[in-house]
Amino acid sequence: MPKTLTIIGMGACGVAAFAEAVTRLSYDPGDGWLIHLIERDDALARGLAFGTEQPGHLLNTESRLMGLYDQEPGHFRTWLEARRAEAGTPLDPDGVEYPQRREYRLYMRDVLDRALDRARAAGIDVRIHHQEAVSIEGNHLAARITLSDGTTIATDIVLLTIGTPDPDRFGTLNGAPGYFDSPYPAHQMTEHIERDQPVVILGSGLSAIDAVMTLLDNDHRGHIHLISKEGMLPRVEIPAPETGYERRYLTLENVHRLIRERGAAFSIVDLFRLFRTEAETAAGRPIDWQAEDRYGGDAEAALLHDIAVAEAEDEPFQRILTAARHDSTAIWNLLRPVDQKRFGKWLAPHFAAARFVTPMINARRLADAMARGLLTVRGQIDETVADEGGAGFTVTFDNGDTLETPIVVNATGQATTLDEMKEPLIKDLLAKQWLQPHPVGGAIAHRATCRIISATRDAPRLYALGQLLNGELRDTNAVWFNVECAGRAVDDILRQR
């Protein structure tokens, strides 16, 4: 009897999982499968990050790591080279390329369309639903998904690929005039923020930089304030960070050896010592680690420094962290929960700044905006409150300074813990204890298969990809890693016959 798989969310993770399932089923269909694709947006293969039309919204990962087929990270680069050649603007085969995200959306759609065509040719029944999944009922044998229009879908297995959940961090600001809960979709900002208005953007990471690019793309003239706890910008991409470095110290082998020889747990201190030794070896010189702590420092000076060292290809951190990407989750899972929490408190902002970097073209735009007095970055924010009567907002800093602004954009990034995710479906599954919170974020799941581990034995068969597993699988912001996980999950799903 045919089995039913339902994929909820058809952004990058959903497309990758569907393409992998169709690839497998087209040559080994078993007793047959029905696949439901649920997407609340009016278009599949778009998602929040890639649905933008802003020219300044670029991929933050080099094109050679963005393929959507399992074990083929370079597929997007191959697709991109063919597309550019056809347009008469061929890529340099050895060049670094960070395309606009709207171009990547075309690639996602192409992968989806090819999978749909292949499914039809193979006789795989695929049904598409443009609704939001709001709840799930059932048990281990079968589940029933309720959609926002009241219809239900019977299914055997559910794969949650809901993308990047919005955080519910500033609930007291919701509904206040001039408050934007997210920088996406970008048209909300461009349509409702006047060009001469000063703007406060909460956050200073990649989402915040997207918000700045949205404003700059639309010739914004009012002052832009990037404000966060750390006051740190991401570092600047170096050419081809995925090539040219072989680790000697920060390796899974050395981590295991430390645990075995000492008979003690691997700690956050051990992790930093290995990284420090690796970095100084790669740099060929001692590193002033106190100077590398940019918390609350001069963001403009740091940005100019990062541009210079990236141009000189003299920045070791990105090469080390990119080279370690295939070991990062395994190393992460060898840390105890207490050390994972310490990582989040002590090292996570510095790790994120070096691992999730800004393309050079956008870094130069930021530096230009700073030089023109249009953009400032500041750390040590305390709180943001809406003024009475809807007249604007007041931002307070740890030292007691205040800043008045008519516009606030929440660009603090994705939700990490289940209780701050605003998705109705997540709240439903959390209330049923079918999702269990991981100690440092996301849900508890089987690391090798991405299958959700529920608190009750009667839970439906649930799998997840992406940010829902951010505590269990650390690198869930990376498309290449989520594609790899999609392959694992689909492999396990299709074995259940």
Strands of 179-180's sheet, edge to edge? 179-180, 407-410, 199-202, 224-227, 375-378
3-state helix, strand, coil in the chain (%, to 5): 40, 20, 40
Residue 99 · residue 60 · CB < 8 Å: no
Q: Which of 8, 9, 1, 4 is nearest to 156 (CA)?
A: 4
Q: How far apart are CA 20 and CA 4, in angstroms?
A: 16
pLDDT per residue as tens digits for the range 268-321: 999 999 999 999 999 999 999 999 999 989 999 999 999 999 999 888 999 999
Domains of the chain, by residue range, sit at 3-166+416-495, 171-233+359-410, 252-355
Average pLDDT of the residues of the chain: 93
Res. 2 pLDDT band, cuts 50 70 90: confident
Q: Identify the three-state secondary structure at position 36.
A: strand
Angstrom CA distances, 12 to 107, 417, 486, stand at 10, 21, 10
Percentage of the residues of the chain whose pLDDT score is greater than 90: 82
Question: Distance between CA atoms of 373 and 447, rounded to whole angstroms?
Answer: 47
Amino acid, res. 401: D
Q: Which tens digit of pLDDT belongs to each residue from 188-232?
A: 999 999 999 999 999 999 999 999 999 999 999 999 999 999 999
Cα-atom radius of gyration of the chain, to the nearest Å? 23
Would you identify the CATH topology of the domain 3-166+416-495? FAD/NAD(P)-binding domain (3.50.50)
pLDDT tens for residues 129-184? 999 999 999 999 999 999 999 999 999 999 999 988 878 788 889 889 999 999 99
**How many residues are present in the chain?**
497
Model confidence band, residue 444 (pLDDT cutoffs 50, 70, 90): very high
pLDDT band at 388 (very low <50, low <70, confident <90, very high): confident
Q: Is 174 exposed, middle or buried (0-12, 13-18, 19+ CB in 10 A)?
A: exposed
For residue 465, CA distances in Å to 160, 168, 273, 337, 425 come to: 6, 21, 31, 21, 15
Q: What is the pLDDT of residues 308-323, one digit of tens each?
A: 999 998 889 999 998 9
- CATH homologous superfamily for the domain 171-233+359-410: FAD/NAD(P)-binding domain (3.50.50.60)
Q: What is the mean pLDDT of residues 417-428?
A: 93
The label of the residue with tokens 């798989």 reads 5
Mean pLDDT of 374-378: 97
Kindly give, in sequence order, each residue whose CB lies less than 8 Å from that of residue 421, ignoring residues fewer than 6 positions away: 165, 166, 167, 168, 415, 427
Write down the residue that tokens 């639309």 correspond to: 218
Question: b vs e for 341-365, b when ≥16 Cβ sit within 10 Å of the residue's Cβ?
Answer: bbbbeeebbbbbbbbbbbbbebbeb
pLDDT tens digits, 84-135: 999 999 998 888 899 999 999 999 999 999 999 999 999 999 999 999 999 9
Alpha helices, H only, 168-288: 187-192, 206-217, 252-262, 268-283
The Cα–Cα gap between 454 and 437 comes to 10
Q: What is the pLDDT of residue 407?
A: 97
pLDDT in tens, 223-253: 999 999 999 999 999 887 777 789 999 999 9
Q: Rounded to whole angstroms, how far apart are CA atoms 11 and 54?
A: 18
3-class secondary structure, 245:
coil
Q: Is the pLDDT confidence value at 386 over 90?
A: yes
CA distances from 5 to 37, 132, 171, 229 (A): 9, 17, 35, 42
Confidence (pLDDT) at 240: 77
Would you place residue 56 in the very low, low, confident or very high pLDDT band (cuts 50, 70, 90)? very high
pLDDT class for 497, splitting at 50, 70, 90? Answer: low
Q: Mean pLDDT across the stretch 474-479? A: 87
What pLDDT is recorded for position 465? Answer: 97
Cβ-contact 4, 157 below 8 angstroms: yes
DSSP codes of every residue in 337-368: HHHHHHIIIIIHHHHHHHHS-B-HHHHHHHHH
The conformation of residue 53, written as its DSSP 8-state character, comes to -
pLDDT band at 28 (very low <50, low <70, confident <90, very high): confident
| pTM of structure | 0.92
Q: Is 3-166+416-495's fold the same as 171-233+359-410's?
A: yes
Beta bridge pairs of residue 364:
none
Q: Where are the alpha helices (DSSP H) in 394-478?
A: 424-431
> CA–CA separation, 159 vs 368, rounded Å?
44
